[in-house]
Structure 1
Amino acid sequence: MIEHIVIFKFNEKTSEHEKKEAINQLKSLKQKIPGIVDIQAGLNFSDRSQGFDVGLTVRFEDKQSLEEYGPHEKHQEVVSYLKEIGLSDIIVVDFEL
C-alpha cells in the first residue's frame, strides 16, 4: 500500500466555498480512478498550519496506481480547478505502508 499526503495553500482571494468544492472534487476521485483504496480530505483547523488550508490523504493499492493517478484525466481536471481558485503552494509526501 502507498500513502499519498498533500497539503494545499490557497491565496487570500480563495473563498471557503471554493475550498469546500475542491475537497468534494478531490474526494470524488475514488469513484473515478482505479487503484484508490481510500481518500480523505478536509479543511485544516490547526493554527500550526503555516497557512496551509486543505489536507488530503489517498491510499493506493501500489506504486503503479500512484504513478497512474498523477496524469489521469480526472485528477488533472481537479488540479486545473485548484489552480483556477488560487492554489499557491503544495507539499506532497508519499510513503509505503
Structure 2
Amino acid sequence: MVKHIVLFKLKESLSQEEKLDVMNRFKAAIEALPAKINVIRHIFVGLNINPDEQWDICLDSEFDTLEDVKFYATHPDHVAAAGILKDAKDGRACVDYEF
C-alpha cells in the first residue's frame, strides 16, 4: 500500500472567508473522488484549525501502488478538483511512502 500525503498553503492575500470557501470546496470535491476513481482506497482532506501553523490543508490518501497514485493524479476528475486551488495556492508539499 502507498500513503499519499499532500500539504497546501494558501496565499496570505486571501481573506479568511475566501480561504474557508476554497478549502471547503476543495475538500468536498476531493472527498467525492472515490465514487469516480476506483483506485482510491482511502481519501480525507483535513483543514487546519491552528493559525500558528503554516499549512492550511492536508490531503491524506491511500492507494495499492505508486502507479495508482499516478493514475489518480492525472485523472480528469482529480485534475478538476485540484483546479479549485489553482489561483489560491501558495505552496505544496508531498510525500508518498509504502506501508
Same-fold call, TM cutoff 0.5: yes
Whether 1:17 aligns to 2:59 is no
Q: CA deviation at 1:83?
A: 0.5
**SS of the counterpart of 2:32?**
helix
Paired with 1:75 and 1:27, the residues of 2 have a C-alpha distance of 10
Task: Count residues in correspondence.
Answer: 95
TM-score with structure 2 setting the length: 0.86
Paired with 2:73 and 2:22, the residues of 1 have a C-alpha distance of 22
Paired with 2:39 and 2:85, the residues of 1 have a C-alpha distance of 22
Paired with 1:42 and 1:20, the residues of 2 have a C-alpha distance of 10
Paired with 1:31 and 1:9, the residues of 2 have a C-alpha distance of 27
- 1:89 aligns with 91
Which among 43, 52, 57 is matched to residue 54 of structure 1?
57
**Identity of matched residues, %:** 27
Q: CA deviation at 1:31?
A: 1.3
User: Which one-letter code corresponds to 2:77 in the other structure?
Assistant: K
Contact 1:34 1:65 in 2 (8 A): no
Q: CA deviation at 1:30?
A: 1.4
- 1:69 aligns with 72
Residue deviations 1:12-62 (CA, integer Å, cap 9, x gap): 31431221111111111111112111101121123552x210111010022
Aligned-pair Cα RMSD in Å: 1.4
Paired with 1:6 and 1:20, the residues of 2 have a C-alpha distance of 16
Paired with 1:95 and 1:46, the residues of 2 have a C-alpha distance of 26
TM-score with structure 1 setting the length: 0.88
